[in-house]
Copies of this chain bind each other. A is one copy, B any other.
């Protein structure tokens, strides 16, 4: 970091303190240390942390940042696990922690939407909807109750229900631009606009997409669509025993997804996903060997009740509709899935009751195991934010924590690799055949799920999970990540989302796309103040 940059930062920090008050700025080593952690190989260290409470605060912050040429890096709740977490692409930025902007500004029951600030967490909205008997359900990503709704949406993350594509179900944004102006998208900029949160596009260019996976502005408010509690809800869960069964599973479900018979983001996870649910790599049994030897994998698979593949999704609507979809899915999976079960609230309560009762007399281990797999998935499909998926990332820790907590406290290393492929069984198999040797070669287990996100595509979600405390492991994980991304991109399987390490790879190939992205950046943020280097290429240094 040059002396000039440091000086600018000092001047900016003192101006931020004057303007926002001391409580809104942190610069002590302890706090900086906390923000300089990551699940990836390399963290970056910020120059300070800013805690705005209002849109006006954010405006003041960027104006000062702009005056001093100090980049700011907004995070909503900083839980962008495995994609860079709360870290900026480069050191020396001021982290703009939006966590104190955590107001639920509106919940409209009749039209089923809410308007939230970026600090509102999944858990907070869920509790609000429950506590106030709104009769509304939300969609939750698997990032846990403490993660931000807005943060996930601007990253174009996804969840599990009919509203699983978060960006597709957000409507009307407020955005602070680099010069402090406030942009309202859709109809939001018209006086008295009545349809801002029910119709996304407004009139004139539809700008919202610009503010996802980019750095053109800071989203300070967002409308999100919610679902009225359905008349009926059915969770479904299926399994298939052989690796190659995936091909037929995908091809058989595709027509149901495309016809709208199934309309949630169906997830199909491999056996490692189940095993990792326990959070414990069998270090002793494996005698320290990685990746997991095939015989041991088979043995654990049998013990846990896992099969090669487990899929889950849900059906909602009228009772008759749910019945109809159930019938269609049964027919489609006949002779392909080894198991297909449907659960509703009544059934799952009764199973849990049985489980508890059996447990009391020392029985029912198999059922208990099954419930351990099912319950978190069941909840996610009702939009309940759960922490279990995050726990799955503890898999390769030598000493995983007993209780899931802050991921960064656990020393857990994590890279997500998430390519999009056409929803075809053959492509899914090809993708896995491409990835598996790379995982093995680097000593990692291929944890993967395939998600039928839209009606036509699958998102493969691979994670490279590792223990940051083991010497050399972070480097191996990083190399594995790079090799996976390179191999996938060469094959035309491009990522739907990238972590800090992946972003430069996305723009390696020169293209008009990234040129245009940079030209828009230059128009809206010529000093490259906001989230420098995030997805978009950093602009060349320009003197003030």
- Which one, A265-273, A383-391, A509-517, is touching chain B? A509-517
**Given the contacts A203-B213, A213-B204, A216-B205, A198 and B516 also touching, CB distance less than 8 Å:** no
Check if A378 is an interface residue, CB within 8 A of chain B: no
- Which one, A252-260, A353-361, A432-440, is touching chain B? A252-260
Q: Tell me how many residues of A have a C-beta within 8 Å of chain B.
A: 102
Residue-wise, chain A 494-531 has the 8 Å CB interface mask toward B (1 for contact) of 11111000000011010111111101101110000000
CB closest chain-B residue, reference A216: B205
**Given the contacts A201-B212, A490-B192, A316 and B259 also touching, CB distance less than 8 Å:** yes
**Given the contacts A204-B214, A261-B317, A190 and B509 also touching, CB distance less than 8 Å:** yes
- Tell me which residues across on chain B come within 8 A of A512, comparing CB atoms: 177, 181-184, 189
Residue-wise, chain A 194-211 has the 8 Å CB interface mask toward B (1 for contact) of 110111111111111111
- Tell me which residues across on chain B come within 8 A of A522, comparing CB atoms: 523
Check if A405 is an interface residue, CB within 8 A of chain B: no
Check if A185 is an interface residue, CB within 8 A of chain B: yes
Q: A230, A492, A535: which has the most chain B beta carbons within 10 Å?
A: A492
Check if A134 is an interface residue, CB within 8 A of chain B: no
Check if A111 is an interface residue, CB within 8 A of chain B: yes
A286 vs B101: C-alpha distance when bound (angstroms): 63
Check if A105 is an interface residue, CB within 8 A of chain B: no
- Tell me which residues across on chain B come within 8 A of A423, comparing CB atoms: 111, 198
- Which one, A1-9, A306-314, A319-327, is touching chain B? A319-327
- Tell me which residues across on chain B come within 8 A of A491, comparing CB atoms: 192, 194
A112 vs B423: C-alpha distance when bound (angstroms): 11
Check if A235 is an interface residue, CB within 8 A of chain B: no
CB closest chain-B residue, reference A251: B110
- Tell me which residues across on chain B come within 8 A of A227, comparing CB atoms: 258-259
Number of copies: 2
A residues 522-544 near B (Cβ < 8 Å) are 522-524, 535-536
A residues 438-481 near B (Cβ < 8 Å) are 453-457, 459
- Tell me which residues across on chain B come within 8 A of A182, comparing CB atoms: 512
A residues 168-196 near B (Cβ < 8 Å) are 168, 177, 181-185, 187-195
A218 CB to closest chain B CB (Å) equals: 14
- Tell me which residues across on chain B come within 8 A of A422, comparing CB atoms: 111, 194-195, 198
- Tell me which residues across on chain B come within 8 A of A214, comparing CB atoms: 204-205
CB closest chain-B residue, reference A200: B454
- Tell me which residues across on chain B come within 8 A of A37, comparing CB atoms: none
A379 vs B340: C-alpha distance when bound (angstroms): 39
| B190 and A492 within 8 A (CB) | yes
User: Which of B162, B168, B492 lies in contact with A260, CB distance below 8 A?
Assistant: B162
| A209 and B212 within 8 A (CB) | no
A180 vs B192: C-alpha distance when bound (angstroms): 40
| A184 and B258 within 8 A (CB) | no
A389 vs B161: C-alpha distance when bound (angstroms): 37
| A456 and B198 within 8 A (CB) | yes
Check if A263 is an interface residue, CB within 8 A of chain B: yes
Pairs of residues from A and B, 3 with the lowest C-beta to C-beta distance, nearest first: A206-B209, A320-B324, A192-B492
Given contacts A203-B497, A320-B328, 15 further A-B contacts (CB under 8 A): A192-B490, A195-B493, A195-B494, A198-B422, A199-B454, A199-B496, A201-B213, A203-B494, A204-B513, A204-B536, A205-B211, A227-B258, A320-B320, A320-B323, A520-B523
A-B contact pairs, 17 of them (CB 8 A): A167-B206, A184-B511, A189-B514, A199-B456, A204-B507, A204-B517, A204-B535, A205-B210, A207-B513, A260-B260, A261-B318, A261-B321, A317-B324, A318-B325, A320-B327, A321-B324, A323-B324
